[in-house]
Structure 1
Amino acid sequence: MDILGVDNVLIPVGDLAAARRYYADGLGLKVKFEMEAQGVALFSVGAEAPGILVRVDARAGRPGPGPAMRLWLEVPDARAVSAELGERGIRPLAAPFEVGTGWAVEVADPWGNVIGFTDYLKRPELSRPRP
């Protein structure tokens, strides 16, 4: 099997309009497309082709086993992202914390899916090239 990279990351959500507000207005991601009738929206992640695809799922956010996920995204400075999220009214789950490559901070959407932002300040050689 030849894995070429990430296609899209699918996140179950309970409400498409609320998800659009959270991911676009709150996290600042750009909407690539939205298909309301199908209950999906795709958000860009930087200049990469892969994106975050939210899909309405009636089980999202309910107690007990159900859909949830955790995704980390690379950013230039996770501590700066934490401050910016706070300015947008999004509270991190905890203060930024050190990881092997630098710093990370995590937030949760209204359905309990965790989005992490991590940097490579300690290991810049592992970071994506920047334009």
Structure 2
Amino acid sequence: MSDEESYELLGFDNALLAVGDLGAAVDFYERAGFSVGFRFDEAGIALLKVGGETPGILLRAEESLGHRSPPWHTPRLWLEVPDARAAARELAAAGITPLDEPFSGATGWTVEIADPWGNILGLTDYTKRPELGRRN
């Protein structure tokens, strides 16, 4: 590409997360409140829905991947929820322990969880700046 040429980013397609066991991963994420859009065991993939958007979180089985704690430098995928502190309570009720207590940020609250393979997802709200959230 020359300096005068460029490409246009249209939006997200899917976020891919490697997991060691597709069935266990689907169970974990269903307990965390995600819905499965499709599951194709023969290909080792399942798509988790994220709101009403077409893109989602694609779980991809990597047989050699074992359970692990998330390293500090692990990328984080944050998703918007109406109330992160309520989400933290629901996660705890489902047996999913957050990485830490919900924490306050400039726009609202966030709680982070890690799946058994070290993938970190954050659930964040815009309770302090509702005009910036999806439900304004």
TM surpasses 0.5: yes
For the residues of structure 1 that align with 2:15 and 2:128, how far apart are their CA atoms? Answer: 26
Q: Where does residue 51 of structure 2 map in the other structure?
A: 46
Report the count of equivalent residues: 126
| 1:101 counterpart = 2:107 | yes
Q: Deviations over 1:11-41 (max 9, x none)?
A: 00000010010011x1121111111011000
Identify the match of residue 11 of structure 2 among 5, 12, 26: 5
Q: Where does residue 74 of structure 1 map in the other structure?
A: 80
For the residues of structure 2 that align with 1:20 and 1:84, how far apart are their CA atoms? Answer: 18
Where structure 2 has 5 or more consecutive residues not aligned to the other structure, the ranges are: 1-6
> Do 1:12 and 1:60's aligned partners in 2 also have CA atoms closer than 8 Å?
no
Q: Where does residue 92 of structure 1 map in the other structure?
A: 98
Where structure 1 has 5 or more consecutive residues not aligned to the other structure, the ranges are: none
The structural deviation recorded for 1:94 is 0.3
Identify the match of residue 25 of structure 2 among 16, 19, 29: 19
Q: Where does residue 119 of structure 2 map in the other structure?
A: 113
Q: Secondary structure at the match of 2:96?
A: coil
Identity %: 54
Question: Kindly tell me: are residues 60 and 52 of structure 1, through their superposed partners in 2, closer, same or farther at Cα, counting changes over 3 Å?
Answer: farther
For the residues of structure 2 that align with 1:61 and 1:6, how far apart are their CA atoms? Answer: 28
* TM-score normalised per structure 1: 0.89
For the residues of structure 2 that align with 1:61 and 1:37, how far apart are their CA atoms? Answer: 22
For the residues of structure 1 that align with 2:19 and 2:75, how far apart are their CA atoms? Answer: 11
Q: Deviations over 1:34-56 (max 9, x none)?
A: 11011000011111111110001
Question: CA RMSD, aligned part only?
Answer: 1.8
> Do 1:10 and 1:55's aligned partners in 2 also have CA atoms closer than 8 Å?
yes
Identify the match of residue 42 of structure 2 among 12, 37, 40: 37
> Do 1:39 and 1:55's aligned partners in 2 also have CA atoms closer than 8 Å?
yes
| 1:56 counterpart = 2:61 | yes
* TM-score normalised per structure 2: 0.86
